[in-house]
Amino acid sequence: MTLIAATTVAAYAESDPPGNHWPAKPVRIIVPVAPGGSADKLTRTLADKLALLWGQSVLVENVPGASGTIGAAKVAKAAPDGYTLLQQGEGITLNSLLFAKLPYDSQKSFTPIIKAVVNPQILVVNPSTGLHTLNQYISRAKARSQSISLALPGNGGIAHVAHEILSQRTGAQVNYIPYSGGGPATLDVLGGHADATLITLAAVTEYVRAGKLRALAVTTPYRSDALPDVPTVAEAGVPGFAVESWQGYFAPSGTPQQVIEKINNDMRAVLQTPDVREQLEKLGFKVAGGSSKDLAQSLRVERPFYAKAINAAGLTLR
């Protein structure tokens, strides 16, 4: 290649941002929990629409284990080109506070893309427990410590932390049983192998509507439009209680900013399409959106809040 030709190619490359031709091949989204839960449902909904928009396959890969850290580690080690993304929520912060050592740096290994949705956690029980209200649940858990088995979607996740905050406020003590995701946890409550679960509302909306699970309360300061008859924890007898969870997407650190912005813009567009918005809201999600910088700021704000709750509960994971 001549010097002039080489100079021309280099100049063209500098003026042609990587986002302009992205994606040129299939994109993979790692969901770090088992199939069937809210994170899986959300990601598969978005993946179908993004595939049409991008003209490329968008593959959803479930990589459960170790409270989501195995899947996160896989993305942290991936090439920073936008072709391997991570679905995560507040768990990315919680794990950094709960684990003494991780195979990645939660604050440096990932670039935030978007906070896709926010949603309540919801406390549901198998109807055979005979529990109809949050007060009954708390009373039984106080009178007979550990008598209620609570299926957790993950060890040390937002449900675990939220219930620990509830325990601190009320004295209720339950028997925690951690699972590899919301799907398996829900199935065991449905089957009567566990009494209850505290879980992202979108994971169990259909079961509550069908009467297969009984909802006692949602953790947010507002009721969910998807299940408007379910009271908040604060309304049900624990004033001031409020925990809101969220789900979003990340790329490996070093991914070109133009690619991050394109994914953010396209995900926001998909989230705002009437059919996707209706589908997600029916499940119990609230569409969020915002920029990469907005998500980065949200991460900075939530860290001290969860650090305080975790320290007060004395929670640690290995």
Which pLDDT belongs to residue 3? 45
H helix intervals, 171-314: 182-190, 205-209, 257-272, 274-283, 292-313
Which pLDDT belongs to residue 9? 40
pTM of the entire structure? 0.86
Q: Which residues pair with 122 in a beta bridge?
A: 199, 218
**For strand 27-31 and strand 58-62, is the pairing parallel, antiparallel, or unpaired?**
parallel
Mean pLDDT of the chain: 92
Going from the C-alpha of 283 to that of each of 33, 106, 120, 277, the distances in angstroms are 18, 29, 11, 10
- Per-residue tokens: 74: 């896989």
Give residue-wise pLDDT tens across range 225-280: 999 999 999 999 999 999 999 999 999 999 999 999 999 999 999 999 999 999 99
Which pLDDT belongs to residue 21? 87
Domains of the chain as residue ranges with CATH? 27-118+245-313 (3.40.190.150), 120-236 (3.40.190.10)
Taking the CB of residue 259, how many other CB atoms lie within 10 A of it? 22
Which pLDDT belongs to residue 280? 95
Give residue-wise pLDDT tens across range 154-201: 888 899 999 999 999 999 999 999 998 899 999 999 999 999 999 999
State in Å, rounded, how far the first CA of the chain is from the last one: 55
DSSP 8-class letter at 237: T
